[in-house]
Chains A and B, each alone.
Chain A
Amino acid sequence: MQLVLERRAERSALIAIASPVLAIALTMVTMSVLFALLGKNPVAALGVYFLDPLTDAYSLQEIAVKATPLVMIGIGLSFCYLANIWNIGAEGQFTIGAVTGSWLAVHTQGTDAGPWVLPAMLVLGALGGALYAMIPAICKVRFGASEILTSLMLVYVADLFMDYLVRGPWRDPHGLNFPTTAEFDPVATVPTLIEGSRLHAGAVATLVLVALAAVLLGRTVKGFEIRVVGAAPRAAAFAGFNANRLVLFACALSGALAGLAGIIEVAGPVGHLQPGFSPGYGFTAIIVAFLGRLNPFGILIAGLFLALTFIGGEGAQISLKVPLDLTKVFQGMLLFYVLACDSLIVHRIRFVSMSRKAAHGTG
C-alpha cells in the first residue's frame, strides 16, 4: 500500500471547517504522548491544560485578557495572509506600537495632561506599528526582498530598541534600577470594564474590530481585492488591482492593528513598558490567524482557544511541574498540524496498492 495525495475537483467545504478541529485533536494526541514520556498522566494533564481554566471566573477573565491582543493581531495578519503576503513580524510591530504609544505616556508623566492622552497614545501606537510594517513592505515592493525574512528580523531590532529605551532614557528614576518605565498615569491607562478586574476596554474594541473586519472582507471592493490578489495574481492584475499598492495597504493595516494591540497591552493589563511584556503574542497570532481560517469570527474563536493554552500552561507549570515552554511546543505543533490538515481541502488521500505501483514502474 502506498499513500498518494491527489487534487480534488472542487475544494472541500467540509474539510475547510473540520481541519482546525482535526488539528487540535492530533495535537492533543501528540501532547498525550509527550506527557506520558514526561511521566505524567496524559488525561489529567490535558485536563489541567484545557478544562481547569474554564472552571473559575478569574481564569475566564484572564482568557479574555490574553485573547484580546491575539485576536487583534490575528485579524491584521489575516489581511496579509489572504493577499499572500507573509508578514511574520507582528511581534515587532506589536513592540514598536507599544513603544511609540508609551512615548506620550512617559513624556506626559505627572503633568495631569487631560483625557486626550490615551486616545493620542492609541493613535501613535497604531501609527508606529503601521510604519514599522512598511519597512518590509517597501523592501518587497521596491527591491523584491522576501518579507518573510525582513519582517522576522525586524522583530529583534524592535525588541532591542525597546530594551535600550527602558534601560536608558525612559527608565523609571524611582524604579530601583529595574529596566522599566514608571507606572502610567491614570489618563494614560486603558480603563477596566469591571472594578478590580484586569478585563479592560480593549476587549470591547477587539469585538468591534472583528465585526469591521468581517464587513471589510465580505462586503467591500477592497476586501475583494485582497482576496483576489492572494488567490490569482494574474487575474488581479487583469481586474486592475495594483498588487504593489496592496502589499503596502495590507502591511500597513496589519502593522497598525499589531501596534494598537501593543499599546493597549502596555497601557492596559501591564501598566508600564518593560522588556518581556509580551509572551510572544505576535507569533502566537500567526497560529490564531490560520486556526481561525483567516476568517474574523474564526479568529475570535481561535484567539480564545490559544489564550486558554497560555492560562492552562501556567496552571500546568504550577500543578504538574512541567516547563512553561511546553505551551510553545503545543502551539507550534498546532500550527504544524493545521497547515498539514489544510492540504486536505484541495487534495485527497488515496491508497494505491503495491501491485499497481510495480506496474507503474515498468518501462
Chain B
Amino acid sequence: MHDPSPVTGPAQEPLGRPLLQAIDISKRYGTFLANDAVSVDLMPREIHALLGENGAGKSTLVKVMYGLVQPTAGELRWQGEKVELAGPAHARALGIAMVFQHFSLFENLTVAENVALGLARTEPFAAISARLAEVSRAYGLPIDPAREVWRLSVGERQRIEIVRALMQNPKLLILDEPTAVLTPQEVDQLFVVLKRLRDEGRTILYISHKLDEVKRLCDTATILRAGRKVATCDPRRETAASLARMMVGGDVGEVRAASGRSATVPRLVVTGLTLAPDDPHGARLDAISLEVRGGEILGIAGVAGNGQDELFAALSGERSAPEAGNVVIDGEAVGHLSVTGRRRLGAAFVPEERLGHATVPRMRLSENALLTGHAASAMVRHGFVDKPAMLATVERISAAFDVRKAKRDPEAVSLSGGNLQKFVVGREILREPGVLVVSQPTWGVDAGAAAIIRQALLDLASRGSAVLVISQDLDELMEIADRIAVMFHGTLSEPLDVANATREKLGLLMGGSCAGEVSAPPETSHAAGA
C-alpha cells in the first residue's frame, strides 16, 4: 500500500451536529407506503449502516437522500439547514455521492472515459485522467485509467464507481450493498478504504443485509422493517442474532441439514467441457470437469464473469456442448440435447436473472409456470394448455414457498425480488428434479426468503437429488454445500470438502492462485481482471 498522499478532505464539521438529518420521511407509491415516518441522523465521521430486508424501504430512503425520489412527507436537513433536493445533481453539489449496486458503466469505453462522462464538461480529459489516477493511488484503489471496462473484473468495476464518487470529494458517501460482488480479500481491502474515508471526516451510509459485515465495519446501525424504523443501535454491541431479530421481526429459521444425508451415485457428470465464448465479452470454458452425486450439494464459487454464465448455459442446454459425452445426466449423454430434452430426463435449472431469463416479466405467473413446465407436466395436453392446471400449479408453488402476491395471478414483474425468486426456485423444486442446477439462488433476496430457498435446496438433496449451486456468496455455499469448487478464468478448481474449505483458501482460488500457493498471497486484486 502507498502512503496516502494528502487528498483534500472535507471541511471539518462540528462533531455534535448531524451532517444529514432525515426527519419523518414518508414515501407513498399508490397505496403502498415504502417509507413510513423514518428519521435518521447521519453524524460526521461515522460509518452508518442501513440494515433491512429486501423491500424494507432502504432503497427508497437513500433515493430520497440522493434526490432521486421526492418524499411524500417529511424533510431533510443538511448541516442543520432544511433542503429540498431537486435531483441527484443538487445532492452532488451539496457533497453527497452514491455508489449504486448496479454499475452504470459503458463496457466499450475506458475507465477514464467512463469517469469523464459523469463529470462537468469544463474539465479537460487529460486532467480528469490525471486526477483519477491520483485519487485511485491515494486510496489504494488501483485502476488503470486507460483500460477498457469490459476487461475488468466486477471488483475493479466497483472501484471505478467508488473512485468516481470520491473525485467529487463528498462529505457523505452512500454505498448500496457494495460487497455483494467481491471476494473476501476484496471485501477486506474495501473496508480498509472505507475506514480511512471515515477517519478523514467523511460520513458513510452503508446499505447491507449482511450482519457480520455491519458488525465489523459500522459505528451505528439504523434498522428498517416494512418501511418503518425499528431501531438505531451500535452494531458492535449487538449479536448477529439480535440484529437479525430486529431486521426480520422474529427469529430467522436456521437452515438445518437433514441428518443422514449421504452421497450416492453420480447423477450429473461433466467431463472435459471446453466452450468458446459466444460473444466478445464472454468467458471461455476450459476443460471443465465435475461430478455431483445424488444426495449432495456441490457449490461453485467465484467472482462473476469467470465463466459461470457459460457453464450454466452448457449445463442447461441453452448452449450445446461440443460432444454429447461432455455432459451426462443419470447416465445419459446429454451434451447435444435441448433444454426440453434435459428437463424430460428429470433435470431442472434456475438461472441467475429472475426477470427476462427465468421468467417473462410481463407475463402472468401461470404462464411463467408453463415456461419450464410445458415439456412434461399436467399443464399441457396434446399441445393445448390447461389454464386451471396452470393456476393450480401457481397456487401449489405459492403455498409451499410462501410466495406473497397481491393478486391471484399477477405479472411476474410486479412481484418483489424475494417473492419472485421463491416462485422461480419453487417452480423447479416442486417438479422433484433428479438434478438441479441453480445460479445465485438468493441474490438480492431478503433473509427470510433466502432461508426458505436454502432449506429447500438442502431438503431436495436429502431426498436423493444432485444439486449444483453456482453462487458468489461464500457464506451461502459454506452453509449448504458439501463440497466447493472455484471458477476462475473459465477453469474449475478441484472441489474442497466444506470442512477443509476456509474463506482464505477459497478467496485465493477466486483471485486466481492455485491452492498450493496459499502461503504466498499475490496481489490478488489485479489478477482478478482480464
Interface residues of A (CB under 8 A from B): 9-11, 219-222, 224, 227-228, 231-232, 234-235, 237-240, 242, 355-356, 359-363
Contact = CB atoms under 8 A, between A and B. Distances in A.
B375 interface: yes
Contacts of A359: 86-87, 89-90
B261 interface: no
Contact of B90 (A9, A234, A362): A362
B222 to A, nearest CB: 27
Given A219-B384, A221-B385, A360-B87, A240 B339 contact: yes
B93 interface: yes
A232 B361 contact: yes
B281 interface: no
Interface stretch (B190-198, B211-219, B264-272, B364-372): B364-372
A10 to B, nearest CB: 6
Contacts of B388: none
B356 A232 contact: yes
B375 A234 contact: no
9 contacts: A9-B413, A10-B413, A222-B383, A224-B385, A235-B371, A240-B341, A360-B87, A362-B89, A362-B93
A361 B359 CA distance: 38
A235 B385 contact: no
Question: In terms of DSSP, what is the predominant structure of the interface of chain A?
Answer: helix
A355 B90 CA distance: 12
Contacts of A240: 317, 338-341, 343, 374-375
Given A219-B384, A240-B338, A363-B120, A235 B357 contact: yes
A361 B357 CA distance: 37
Contacts of B139: none
Contact of A235 (B87, B93, B360, B374): B360
B93 A238 contact: no
A238 B373 CA distance: 11
A238 B374 contact: no
A361 B120 CA distance: 10
A78 to B, nearest CB: 17
Given A9-B414, A221-B374, A240-B338, A231 B363 contact: yes
Given A239-B371, A240-B375, A359-B86, A220 B384 contact: yes
Contacts of A362: 89-90, 93
B69 interface: no
B339 A238 contact: yes
Contacts of B384: 219-221
Interface residues of B, number: 40
Contacts of A242: 338
Contacts of B317: 240
A101 B356 CA distance: 43
B351 A231 contact: no
Question: In terms of DSSP, what is the predominant structure of the interface of chain B?
Answer: mixed
Contacts of B120: 363
B17 interface: no
B374 A360 contact: no
A9 B308 CA distance: 31
Interface in B320-362: 338-341, 343, 349, 351, 353, 356-362
Given A232-B360, A232-B361, A361 B89 contact: yes
A114 B476 CA distance: 76
B380 interface: yes
B92 interface: yes
A237 B370 CA distance: 14
A9 B362 CA distance: 10
B375 to A, nearest CB: 6
Nearest to B351: A238
6 shortest interchain CB distances as A-B pairs:
A359-B86, A240-B340, A240-B339, A363-B93, A232-B360, A363-B89
B30 to A, nearest CB: 9
A347 to B, nearest CB: 14
A227 B362 CA distance: 11
A360 B90 CA distance: 7
B127 to A, nearest CB: 17
Interface in B77-120: 86-87, 89-90, 92-93, 120
Contact of B339 (A220, A224, A239, A361): A239
Nearest to B343: A240
Nearest to A9: B414
Contacts of B360: 228, 231-232, 235
Nearest to A234: B357
B371 A228 contact: yes
Given A237-B339, A356-B87, 13 more contacts: A9-B413, A10-B411, A219-B384, A219-B385, A224-B385, A235-B371, A238-B358, A240-B339, A359-B89, A360-B90, A362-B89, A362-B93, A363-B120
Contacts of A237: 318, 339
Central interface residue in A232, A238, A356, by most chain B CB within 10 Å: A238
Contact of A238 (B87, B341, B357, B362): B357
Nearest to A230: B360
A311 to B, nearest CB: 37
Nearest to B344: A240
Contacts of A234: 353, 356-357
A277 to B, nearest CB: 37
B316 interface: yes
A39 to B, nearest CB: 47
B414 A10 contact: yes
Given A10-B414, A220-B383, A235 B338 contact: no
A23 B251 CA distance: 56
Contacts of B343: 240
Interface string B395-419: 0000000000000000101100000
Contacts of B356: 232, 234-235
B372 A239 contact: yes
A228 B363 contact: yes
A206 to B, nearest CB: 23
Contacts of A10: 411, 413-414
Contact of A239 (B29, B361, B374): B374
Nearest to B371: A239
Contacts of A235: 356-360, 371
B413 A224 contact: no
B344 to A, nearest CB: 10
Contacts of A224: 367, 370, 374, 385
Contacts of A222: 383
A10 B353 CA distance: 19
Contacts of B411: 10-11
Central interface residue in A11, A219, A224, by most chain B CB within 10 Å: A224
B377 to A, nearest CB: 11
Contacts of B90: 359-360, 362-363
A219 B383 CA distance: 9
